[in-house]
A = this chain, B = another copy of it.
Amino acid sequence: MIVNISLPDNTKYDITIDTLKKQYFDRKVVIVTNPTVSSLHLDYLKEKISAKELSVVTVPDGEQYKNMETIEAILEHCFEHKLNRNSLLIAFGGGVIGDMTGFAASIYQRGIDFIQVPTTLLSQVDASVGGKTGVNNKYGKNLIGAFHQPIAVNIDPHFLTTLPKREFGAGIAEIVKMAVTFNKDFFQWLEKNNLNDEKNIKTAIAKSVETKAWVVSQDEKERGLRAALNYGHTFGHVIENETNYNTYLHGEAVGIGMVMANELAKKIGYMSEGETLRVKHLLEKYDIPTSYKIEDVEDFYEHFFLDKKSLDNRIKFIVPKGIGDCEITDLISKENVIEVLKGFSN
């Protein structure tokens, strides 16, 4: 299964959803991975990928290491191995590895090629497609980074066989996101089909990737439409930040964030009680958390302003309009938001 993505500046690449094919690269290649993925799957990848000169750099596992120090470690490896402008990086891991490898590739000698080989469901359905790269810092998530498109995305469902259940759920959350914001039929299909089934998950990946590719083709740099993919993220980022990135997986925080966004949608009359419950039930079917206790409502609200989606003291919310459509708005009153947040504070 191949999904093609084509951007206004003529950048094009293929997203292949299939067992990895054997490939030879007539250039220096560096695989960037973490210890977990490496111990489970590096041999599998190395059997498929060969190159003029191949090396591996392993960086610590986890969102808390998604920072400039790790980027410098990746770059250091590239310099030591004398990579040149024609060299290639392969991101082999989840969203964190993909975001960091892409960012390192974007600034090494003003930009070299990279390929995404995502190993988690979350990165397969969302993060690996679209060229957003970056790292976190003390001010928030992905605040330093670049738009740098991969030259290919190879999604091999094989890697999902070893994925912990929680990480699987985190991926489902992003699939649900695509459906709620853009595709009612897909949402209904998700309600009826079990994604633990191998054939179904492949279909769901393809559907999500198609949606993502379409959105990115319309609006690569997130001037408008693409912001809709941040549904659940405005709230989710604050939750991750409040819990020091060590309590929830990104997809889990987004799951809770979508439930919060839906409450806001309900408050302004965009969603019915029934629709918010359908989304919640779908998330709960895969044991994705849907509740969170806000300790300090005002403090939670203030956190929004550090999100880069907040232009000049206006917070941009993505609120669903029923299921399958959504609106990006910065016109929601603080009062309405605070009231919704209060609903999560008891």
Taking residues whose C-beta sits less than 8 angstroms from the other chain, chain A's interface range is 35 or more
A235 smallest CB distance to B (angstroms): 19
A146 and B146 contacting across the interface, CB-CB below 8 Å: yes
Residues of B within 8 A of A108 (CB): 143-144
B144 and A310 contacting across the interface, CB-CB below 8 Å: no
Q: Kindly supply a per-residue 1/0 record for chain A positions 215-238, scoring 1 wherever the CB is within 8 Å of any chain B CB and 0 otherwise.
A: 000000100000000000000000
A110 and B145 contacting across the interface, CB-CB below 8 Å: yes
B9 and A111 contacting across the interface, CB-CB below 8 Å: no
Complex alpha-carbon distance, A111 and B146, angstroms: 6
Given contacts A68-B72, A72-B68, contact A109 B308 (CB under 8 A): yes
List which A2-38 residues lie within 8 A (CB) of chain B.
8-10, 28
One complex includes copies of this chain to the number of 2
B144 and A132 contacting across the interface, CB-CB below 8 Å: no
List which A149-183 residues lie within 8 A (CB) of chain B.
none
Residues of B within 8 A of A103 (CB): 107
Interface membership of A84, Cβ < 8 A:
yes
Complex alpha-carbon distance, A310 and B145, angstroms: 27
Interface membership of A305, Cβ < 8 A:
yes
23 pairs across A/B with beta carbons < 8 Å? A9-B10, A28-B312, A79-B139, A79-B143, A82-B305, A84-B308, A84-B310, A85-B311, A86-B311, A86-B312, A106-B146, A107-B107, A107-B134, A107-B144, A107-B146, A108-B143, A109-B143, A109-B145, A109-B308, A110-B134, A111-B146, A111-B147, A146-B146
